[in-house]
Amino acid sequence: MDISGIRKEYTRGGLSRCDIPPDPLALFGKWLTEAVGTEQIAEPTAMVVGTVSADCRPSLRTVLLKELREGKFVFFTNYESRKGRQLADNPHIALSFMWYPLERQIHIEGTAERLPAEESDAYFRSRPLGSRIGSTVSPQSRTITGRSELLRAYEEMRDEVEATGKPVERPAHWGGIEVTPLRIEFWQGRENRLHDRILYTLQADGSWRIERLAP
């Protein structure tokens, strides 16, 4: 298959001065609402998360954005996973939303920290029982002998919970990460590869510098 000839013109929209509010979170909220509103995007809250190890090697994976909290982007994960361990060593993080049907991309760079425990507890309690048990028994990112090991741990815990009625509380290894954005770039595809790129950079006084970048 020759993929070199696959080409698409981007014509769905544009970002002109009047579309650019002083606060990038307002624009993020607008685009997120539009992404959730279109039925063409299977997982509109999915974002690719980039972390960097202590020896400066980058890695990526997809997670789901669960909340925008006081201007911070929140997702939930296993703190002992590969990403969790990398973030403990190096809090610099990058997030990427790619909404192909809208010809839009948003790149966010910032710093990550753990969500306060009470807030992780509250979110954990809101999850279905199966997900709570799953994230308790899964040693995310570690090698396991096979799927049966995981299923055995899941069934053991589920049976115990059913027999005792014990609540499944959040394990210490699982919780929220909140990302404070320092740089947010909005990309809207345009004709002839002359795409719109609007970059917001956080300033020392808390305001955002706004620049247009060449595509």
Ligand X SMILES: Cc1cc2nc3c(=O)[nH]c(=O)nc-3n(C[C@H](O)[C@H](O)[C@H](O)COP(=O)(O)O)c2cc1C
Helix axes 147-164, 129-137, angle to 10 degrees: 130
Nearer to ligand X, 10 or 99 (CB): 99
| Residue 131 interacts with ligand X (CB under 6 A): yes or no | no
| Residue 83 interacts with ligand X (CB under 6 A): yes or no | yes
CA distance 49 to 93: 7
Residue of 25, 81, 179, 181 that binds ligand X (CB under 6 A): 81
Nearer to ligand X, 83 or 107 (CB): 83
| Residue 105 interacts with ligand X (CB under 6 A): yes or no | no
How far apart are CB 82 and ligand X at their closest, in Å? Answer: 4
User: Quick one: three-class SS letters along 8-32?
Assistant: CCCCCCCCCHHHCCCCHHHHHHHHH
Clarify whether 193 is annotated catalytic. Answer: yes
Residue of 61, 92, 127, 183 that binds ligand X (CB under 6 A): 61
How far apart are CB 141 and ligand X at their closest, in Å? Answer: 4
CA distance 209 to 22: 8
Please provide the distance, in angstroms rounded to a whole number, between the alpha carbons at the two ends of the chain.
28
| Residue 46 interacts with ligand X (CB under 6 A): yes or no | yes
Contact region with ligand X (CB under 6 A), list: 26-34, 59-67, 104-112, 180-188: 59-67
Listing DSSP states for 95-163 in one string gives: EEEEEGGGTEEEEEEEEEEEPPHHHHHHHHHHS-HHHHHHHHH--TTS--S-HHHHHHHHHHHHHHHHH
Nearer to ligand X, 59 or 207 (CB): 59
Residue of 10, 31, 75, 187 that binds ligand X (CB under 6 A): 75
Listing DSSP states for 198-210 in one string gives: EEEEE-TTS-EEE
Nearer to ligand X, 61 or 173 (CB): 61
Set 193, 197, 209, 212: catalytic member: 193
Residue of 15, 27, 28, 77 that binds ligand X (CB under 6 A): 77
| Residue 136 interacts with ligand X (CB under 6 A): yes or no | no
> Which CA distances in Å does 23 have to 27, 105, 177, 206, 214?
7, 17, 22, 10, 21
| Residue 174 interacts with ligand X (CB under 6 A): yes or no | no
Q: Are 79 and 114 in contact (CB under 8 A)?
A: yes
Contact residues toward ligand X (CB under 6 A) are 43, 46, 59, 61-64, 75-78, 81-83, 140-141
* Residues acting as catalytic residues: 193
